[in-house]
Structure 1
């Protein structure tokens, strides 16, 4: 059905912030999303982004391309099939990627991961019922929720053009996660596979 390709790159966090963070511009898009004010991982955030990022010195961007086999693309010949394949593969790979980065957090003191898009750990986020997050140990914010430009990051740091579904399943989708660290990891993540 699909295979994955993982690539990573890193940057000093302050340089990354200067080049890729545009909170005001990207909050406009967040406000148009159905997850806005409905998921604890999404804006309006319950944290001060500048203060949160101040604790870290490096960022490791992890991109995973979900590359569909030609037969899968051909079989996705209705809107329902496109949606079904998209949702199941994105969720499956996102879960593997999130679990991998949560495991890295345990191995790298003082690190925190960032996820792709909104959190989907629960069928219904507790935020909708004005309750605290049920899984704060696993819930992670995304780069976009912190105001980062994913399109430019993906092109500049990973050499990947983002693809979107229109009337057919695209050749691939890309999930972008990251790991924030206090210390340099060198090339420790170079051979990361999802």
Structure 2
């Protein structure tokens, strides 16, 4: 059905913020998303995003391309099939990548990960009922919730063009996660693969 390819790059966080964070522009897009104010992982955030970022010095961007084989692309010949294949494959890969990053957080003191898109651990997020997150130890905020330009990040740092579904399944999708750290990890993340 699909295979994956992982790309990783890093930058000092202050440089990354100055190049890629455009909160006003990207928060406007978030407000148009169905996840806005319905998932704890998504805006409006319940904390000062910039204050959280100040506690870290490095950001590691982990991009995973979910590349579909020709047969799967051909089978995705209706909007329902496109949605089904997209949801299943992206959730599988996102769950694997999220678990790898949660493991890394346990190994690396003073680190935290950011995820691709909204959290879907629960069928219905407790935020819809004005209740706290049920799984704060697993839920991670989306990278875009901090107002980062994901298109520019993937293009500049990973040399990947983001693809989107219109009337057919694209050749690939890209999930973009990040790991924030206080100290450089050197080549520690080199062997991550999904």
Coarse TM-score class (shorter-chain normalised): over 0.9
- Corresponding residue of 2:169: 169
Poorly superposed stretches of 4+, deviation over 4 Å = none
Say whether 1:178 aligns with 2:167. no
Q: How much has 1:6 moved relative to structure 2?
A: 0.4
- Corresponding residue of 1:7: 7
- Corresponding residue of 1:102: 102
Q: How much has 1:187 moved relative to structure 2?
A: 1.1
Q: How much has 1:188 moved relative to structure 2?
A: 1.0
- Over the aligned positions, Cα root-mean-square deviation in angstroms equals 0.5
Which residues of structure 1 form unaligned runs of 5+? none
Q: d(CA) in 2 for partners of 1:139 and 1:162? A: 24
Q: d(CA) in 1 for partners of 2:156 and 2:143? A: 15
Q: d(CA) in 2 for partners of 1:24 and 1:7? A: 28
Normalising by structure 1, what TM-score?
0.99
Q: d(CA) in 1 for partners of 2:32 and 2:160? A: 25
Q: d(CA) in 2 for partners of 1:170 and 1:191? A: 27
- Secondary structure, aligned partner of 2:168: coil
Q: d(CA) in 1 for partners of 2:165 and 2:72? A: 14
- Corresponding residue of 1:121: 121
Report matched runs for 1:19-168 at 5 Å.
19-168=19-168
How many residue pairs get aligned? The number is 194
**Which string of whole-angstrom CA distances, capped at 9 and with x for unpartnered residues, describes residues 7-43 of structure 1?**
1000000000000000111000000011111011111
Normalising by structure 2, what TM-score?
0.99
Q: d(CA) in 2 for partners of 1:158 and 1:142? A: 18
**Which string of whole-angstrom CA distances, capped at 9 and with x for unpartnered residues, describes residues 74-93 of structure 1?**
11111111010000000000
- Secondary structure, aligned partner of 1:112: strand
Q: d(CA) in 1 for partners of 2:143 and 2:78? A: 31
- Corresponding residue of 2:17: 17
Q: How much has 1:180 moved relative to structure 2?
A: 0.2
Which residues of structure 2 form unaligned runs of 5+? none
- Secondary structure, aligned partner of 1:52: helix
- Secondary structure, aligned partner of 1:40: coil
